[in-house]
Structure 1
Amino acid sequence: MNPWKCIIVDDEDVDRLMVVSFVKRFPSIEIAGIYKSAAEALAALQKEKIDVLFLDIDMPGGSGLELRQKATQVPACVFITGHAEYAVESFELDTLDFIVKPLRFERFEKAMQRVLQFLEIKEKATLFELSFGGDLITIKEGNEQFKVKLSDILYLEALKDYTLLVTPQKKHCVWSNIGTLLKKEPFDSFVRVHKSFAVQKQFVVKTSAHEITLANQSQIPIGRSYKENLSAIL
């Protein structure tokens, strides 16, 4: 498989070079361009197919948010910025992750795992199927079929047009966005607590102002616009 291509856009030299050094640790990602401005990056995007954007937000001559709005053809986008206040706005633009500077490799690695997982799922999208039967879900992943009990699913995690069904043993992927999935009757026991997460009520053991802890110790973030949904859990 050919490596996926990315571009890096940041007007700060030190931050830009740090992202470059971190990306180079992942052999499945190739750096196709490194730019100081959104205008330079946009010109490059018109010449080459890119799979991932790593974008600063606050830049002279055009923000990273404006660039993302003009580059919706790029499947994956990660914002890396010193301005946490842009987080909510960024997730309205098909953002896979939002990292607040100062950038650390441990946090960047988590974002990369999410990006690579999404790109692999996107490549295999036509291989995923989902069907229901009582308390069982049949999931086709390539040539394999899995029967998963609905009552075993801890939480759902959104990856744009796909959703991960997370059990204590495995993460299963289905080709459906999380909003569509939650409208189906079998998922009535799930509560959406974040743009990217919905938890099954029976597995919640603790809630705080910013996250939910599940029975397997998974910690799920709570989105500001979903806090009112916590009443269904509490």
Structure 2
Amino acid sequence: MKKIRVIIVEDDELDRLLITSFVKRIEDFEVLAIYEDAESVLERNNFDDVDCMFLDIDLPGINGLSLRKELEKIPVCVFITSHPDYAVDSFEVDALDFLVKPINFERFEKTVQRIKDYLEINNKAELYDNYLGEDVIFIKVGNKEVKIKLHELNYLEGLKDYTLLVLNQQKYCVLSNIGKILQEERFKTFIRIHRSYAVQKSMIANYDNHNVELNSNVKLPIGRNFRKNLDF
């Protein structure tokens, strides 16, 4: 796995030294830059090489929450603060984790694992690359392209920003939410039965008020707000 490239933004000198020492203890991390305030960060201009940002919320001038809004393109943001009540606000601006001072290394290691897991999914996610014909899509799996016949898909499962494309013997993860996928014309044979599930019409064996059973014997729940979609 390539190095996870990190920037650190912390105005308190002791906390800055502590976080820096923690990051440097992780073999998979590489510190790109260390900043004392948001204004200095924004002078960087280009953040394409940054994978992760450890960001203090209580910064002078522009605070960490506002800075995160400016730097949404950085894949991972871990907030650091002395005030636990900031937690809700931090997740509203797409924080992966939230560390409360004083930070101990054991808690930091848990954050590191979350970062690694997230970036691994992000890097391996099979993205749409191009399409061929009405019934075929190509998606990326590592450095290869895999061809999938849409009529062989059983169902779609939404996982926040990702969607699983489920066949009989295989699953592929696509970096696109299920709602966006279902807007594609080529997925018109799918119906949404739940906030997290959409099924191929031809794969439905039977259904009742609570579940849909597919030809593959898989049972999926029916969401109350989606039950009317089965009246086709």
Using the size of structure 1 for normalisation, the TM-score is 0.58
Residues 170-189 of structure 1: pairs in structure 2 closer than 5 A? 174-175=173-174, 182-184=195-197, 188=221
Letter in 1 for 2:116: L
Rounded Cα–Cα distance in structure 1 between residues aligned with 2:79 and 2:172:
24
Residues 118-133 of structure 1: pairs in structure 2 closer than 5 A? 118-126=118-126
1:31 corresponding residue in structure 2:
31
Rounded Cα–Cα distance in structure 2 between residues aligned with 1:88 and 1:57:
12
Pair 1:184–1:17, CA change in 2 (3 A): same
Larger deviation, residues 178-187 vs 42-51: 178-187
Letter in 2 for 1:95: A
Note if 1:89 corresponds to 2:79: no
Residues 125-144 of structure 1: pairs in structure 2 closer than 5 A? 125-126=125-126
Q: Deviations over 1:148-185 (max 9, x none)?
A: xxxxxxxx9x6x63489xxxxxxx99446788684316
Rounded Cα–Cα distance in structure 1 between residues aligned with 2:41 and 2:12:
15
Letter in 2 for 1:60: P
Pair 1:62–1:119, CA change in 2 (3 A): same
Using the size of structure 2 for normalisation, the TM-score is 0.58
Rounded Cα–Cα distance in structure 2 between residues aligned with 1:47 and 1:96:
18
Residues 147-162 of structure 1: pairs in structure 2 closer than 5 A? 161-162=161-162
C-alpha deviation, 1:92, in angstroms: 1.0
* Percent identical residues: 45
Q: Deviations over 1:172-216 (max 9, x none)?
A: 9944678868431666399xxxxxxxxxxxxxxxxxxxxxxxxxx
Note if 1:56 corresponds to 2:56: yes
Q: Deviations over 1:90-145 (max 9, x none)?
A: 101111001111101111110110011111111111179xxxxxxxxxxxx869xx
Residues 1-234 of structure 1: pairs in structure 2 closer than 5 A? 1-46=1-46, 49-126=49-126, 161-162=161-162, 174-175=173-174, 182-184=195-197, 188=221
Larger radius of gyration: 2
Pair 1:179–1:163, CA change in 2 (3 A): closer
Q: How many pairs align?
A: 160
CA contact (8 A) 2:126 2:173 kept: no
CA contact (8 A) 1:76 1:95 kept: yes
Structure 2 stretches of 5 or more lacking a match?
Answer: 129-140, 145-156, 165-170, 180-193, 199-218, 224-232
Structure 1 stretches of 5 or more lacking a match?
Answer: 129-140, 144-155, 165-171, 191-234
C-alpha deviation, 1:30, in angstroms: 0.6
Rounded Cα–Cα distance in structure 1 between residues aligned with 2:163 and 2:81:
27
